[in-house]
A and B are shown apart, each in its own frame.
Chain A
């Protein structure tokens, strides 16, 4: 507990700027993952407990593409696409078989996939943590802003995540694809009766959600160390984000990710041991006073 340090930090703009940026990058990574979880839940009504593994695979795939091509942008794009394709396969081959059954079966399928992917990562890339290092594209002098220092890559991460989020929101709200997806979320059989192959849309939604996780992994690769099992802790945080923001709401996921990201970055100065506890406290308060989340619809 060191609330003095927190107060001292809030007193200086340079510290505030630094903590705001680091909070924002945590938040934006969480947002990309949580928006995938919430999108898949909203449309398919299943929780993808293996979403963290997709994030991990994205990071590792980006690492490999980067070793091969040397270009960060190509490898990030490649990782997102590869994980998206993997997500479609996962949905078609495994998850679609257990849509009708109870949560237990869905949980077990995801549990199996997490176990298998963790072990496969160890076999393919080895158990030792890998690090990508800062790509040359971003080896630029840091940006100075109001006394604080912002590495250019952080700025890129935040802007890229926001752009992806905005694109996702536009696709869901403004396009024909989006209206079909929203209709399928409310009544799948009816959409199917109108002559739309709703299974394809389910697979597509799963693929988009997975690609978001892959993109998050690729964005995290230069600043995080890559370990088997790295997806699990971020999965738990993304669950907390979806509960706070409201299941099925992308706007909610955005707001809640920023709340959690800032709690993490400022909390690590003021109350490092209780950061997790404070996150859970926020979640518990939301569940007690607004069980559907800040932006969620009431449960069906």
Chain B
């Protein structure tokens, strides 16, 4: 229980820090960077619920990111919904889609799961590209997303939009934190480590996996909604396979065993991207080489490695103290 209050306190602190950024008049570039980071951060964090906690390597997570973005954008453009109603509607749409895709995929083994999620993502992407009259095809949702006022909040205002996104972001992260520290979260880890044993203990493994898949998809959908609000449009590349690949790479960069790791990875990747773009147009080449060096050189994410080292050192220190204590006790006996 103490852990829960501490987590909520940390979430409030994080929110406060995020809100302080506009208060101190940070340049728009930094604010934009943070807003992009929040949208993609939710994508990476929610994907890690699948990859890091449940062992479900999904290669199609960006489809839910795009689903949230397009459902929200289309709902707002129809002019029939207020922003909160469209928000809920978009998450509902993402959940239904995840339920269908998940129901087909979660029973499959690891490799099948990876490429079927990839295949479904490409189906969704092709639908977006092909259904030009509805989605605008490769041009994306053009003409901007209307942002009518609700409850006195005006999201057309940059600062209010920033505050709205920060709150939504921190709430999602807090929900994820609650999930991974709950009994459900420990069930997910057990499934990752040994699903036969989990099944023996009476856990309905496919149902738990499906629930995790849907929750994770919904949070990715929120990320998509934030991005739509931010760029005032939705584009097919939100759901392209490279976006899923980037999300996986963010997890690798940040580490899948540290709760906020994927978020750190998001920041690193976006910085890396911005820096390479300013030097060369061949960002993909640079990115690919970085991935190869990390995967083949370190064999895990840099932050995971640091966390592991730190843990080892702490254990070694604790062992040293215990040894010293044993020695003292031995002296006392003799």
Quick check: A103 and B284 within 8 Å, CB to CB? no
Is residue A116 contacting chain B, with contact meaning CB distance below 8 A? yes
How near does chain B come to A46, taking the closest CB pair, in angstroms? Answer: 8
Task: Report chain A residues within 8 Å CB of B331.
Answer: none
- Asked if A111 meets B291 with Cβ closer than 8 Å, knowing A47-B115, A104-B51, A299-B109, the reply is yes
Q: For B202, what are the chain A residues with a Cβ–Cβ distance below 8 Å? A: none
Contact of B292 among A49, A112, A284 (CB under 8 A): A112
Known: A103-B57, A118-B284, A119-B284. A232 touches B119 (CB 8 A): no
Contact partners of A107 in chain B: CB under 8 A: 57, 59, 114, 248
User: Are the C-beta atoms of B285 and A116 separated by less than 8 Å?
Assistant: yes
Residues of A within 8 A of B107 (CB): 291
**Measured CA separation A256–B239 after assembly (Å):** 27
Residues of chain B within 8 A (CB-CB) of A123 are: 282, 285
Specify which chain B residues have a CB less than 8 angstroms from the CB of A201 in the assembled complex: none
Task: Give the one of A94, A101, A236, A288 with max B CB within 10 A.
Answer: A236
Q: How far is the CB of B57 from chain A (nearest CB, A)?
A: 5
Contact with B along A100-120 (1 / 0, CB 8 A): 011111011101111110111
CA separation between A291 and B112, bound complex, in Å?
A: 10
**Would you give the 0/1 interface string for B219-255, flagging 1 where the beta carbon is closer than 8 Å to chain A?**
0000000000000000000000110010011001000
Q: How far is the CA of A41 from the CA of B120 in the complex (A)?
A: 20
Beta-carbon contacts of B101-131 to A below 8 Å, as 1s and 0s? 0001001111110111011101100110011
Majority secondary structure of chain B interface residues (helix, strand, loop or mixed): helix
Shortest beta-carbon distance from B293 to chain A in Å: 9
**Which of A102, A111, A236, A243 is the one whose CB lies under 8 Å from B248?**
A111
CB distance from B81 to the nearest CB of A (A): 27
A287, B108: Cβ atoms under 8 Å? yes
Q: How far is B118's CA from A240's CA once the two chains are assembled, in angstroms? A: 11
The chain B residue with its CB closest to the CB of A120 is: B285
| Residue pair B295, A115 in contact (C-beta under 8 Å) | no
Q: How far is the CB of A291 from chain B (nearest CB, A)?
A: 7
Q: Which residues of B contact A291 (CB under 8 A)?
A: 107-108
**B299 & A105 in contact (Cβ 8 Å cutoff):** yes
What total of chain B residues lie within 8 Å of the partner, measured CB to CB?
Answer: 39
Q: How many residues of A contact B (CB 8 A)?
A: 43
**Min distance, Cβ B113 to any Cβ of chain A, angstroms:** 8
The chain B residue with its CB closest to the CB of A46 is B111
CB distance from A183 to the nearest CB of B (A): 22
A17–B334 CA distance with the chains assembled, in angstroms: 99
Q: Is the CB of A284 within 8 A of B57?
A: no
Closest chain-B Cβ to A104's Cβ sits at a distance in Å of 5
Smallest CB–CB gap between B53 and chain A, Å? 13
Q: How far is the CB of A295 from chain B (nearest CB, A)?
A: 16
Q: Specify which chain B residues have a CB less than 8 angstroms from the CB of A195 in the assembled complex.
A: none
User: Would you call A273 an interface residue if the criterion is a C-beta within 8 Å of the partner chain's C-beta atoms?
Assistant: yes
* With A49-B115, A104-B51, A107-B57: A97-B296 Cβ-Cβ less than 8 Å: yes
Residues of B contacting A247 in the complex (Cβ-Cβ under 8 angstroms): 112
B111: chain A residues within 8 A (beta carbon): 41, 46-47, 103
Contact present for B51 and A115 (CB under 8 Å): no
Say yes or no for A69: interface residue by CB 8 A criterion: no
Q: Which of A73-113 contact B (CB under 8 A)?
A: 94, 97-98, 101-105, 107-109, 111-113
What is the chain B residue whose CB lies nearest that of A277? B123
Q: How far is the CB of B10 from chain A (nearest CB, A)?
A: 28
Write out, one digit per residue, whether chain A residues 205-226 have a CB within 8 A of any chain B CB (1) or not (0): 0000000000000000000000
Q: Label chain A's interface by main secondary structure.
A: helix
Any chain A CB within 8 A of the CB of B288?
Answer: yes
Using CB atoms, name the residue of chain B closest to A273.
Answer: B130
Closest to B282 in A: A119
- Give, as a whole number of angstroms, the nearest-CB distance from A33 to chain B: 14
Q: A239 contacts the other chain (Cβ, under 8 Å)?
A: yes
**Distance of A277 Cα from B127 Cα, bound (Å):** 9
CA gap between A168 and B22 in the complex, in Å: 65
**Interchain CB contact under 8 A, A284 and B104:** yes
Q: What residues of chain A lie closer than 8 Å to B126, measured between beta carbons?
A: 276
| Chain A residues, CB < 8 A from B108 | 287, 291
Residue numbers in A under 8 Å from B13 (CB-CB): none
With beta carbons under 8 angstroms apart, the residue of A49, A113, A273, A284 that contacts B131 is A273
Rounded to whole angstroms, the CA-CA distance of A247 and B107 in the bound complex is 16
A232–chain B nearest beta-carbon distance, Å: 7
Q: Are A280 and B120 in contact (CB under 8 A)?
A: yes
Measured CB to CB, the closest approach of chain B to A280, in angstroms, equals 5
A101 nearest in chain B by CB position: B299
Report Cα–Cα, A155/B250, bound state, in Å.
47
Q: Chain A nearest CB: distance from B213 CB in Å? A: 16
**Complex formed: what's the CA distance from A287 to B105 in Å?**
9
Listed from nearest, the 8 A-B pairs whose CB atoms lie closest are A116-B288, A115-B288, A112-B291, A119-B285, A112-B288, A115-B284, A119-B284, A111-B245
Which B residues form the contact surface with A (CB < 8 A)? 51, 57, 59, 104, 107-112, 114-116, 118-120, 122-123, 126-127, 130-131, 241-242, 245, 248-249, 252, 282, 284-285, 287-289, 291-292, 295-296, 299
Sample 5 A-B pairs with CB under 8 A, ordered by A number. Answer: A108-B248, A112-B291, A112-B295, A115-B291, A232-B241
Given contacts A113-B288, A122-B282, 11 further A-B contacts (CB under 8 A): A47-B111, A47-B114, A94-B296, A97-B296, A111-B245, A116-B285, A116-B288, A120-B285, A239-B119, A277-B123, A277-B127
Residue ranges of A at the interface with B (Cβ–Cβ < 8 Å): 41, 46-47, 49, 94, 97-98, 101-105, 107-109, 111-116, 118-120, 122-123, 232-233, 236, 239-240, 243, 247, 273, 276-277, 280, 283-284, 287-288, 291, 299
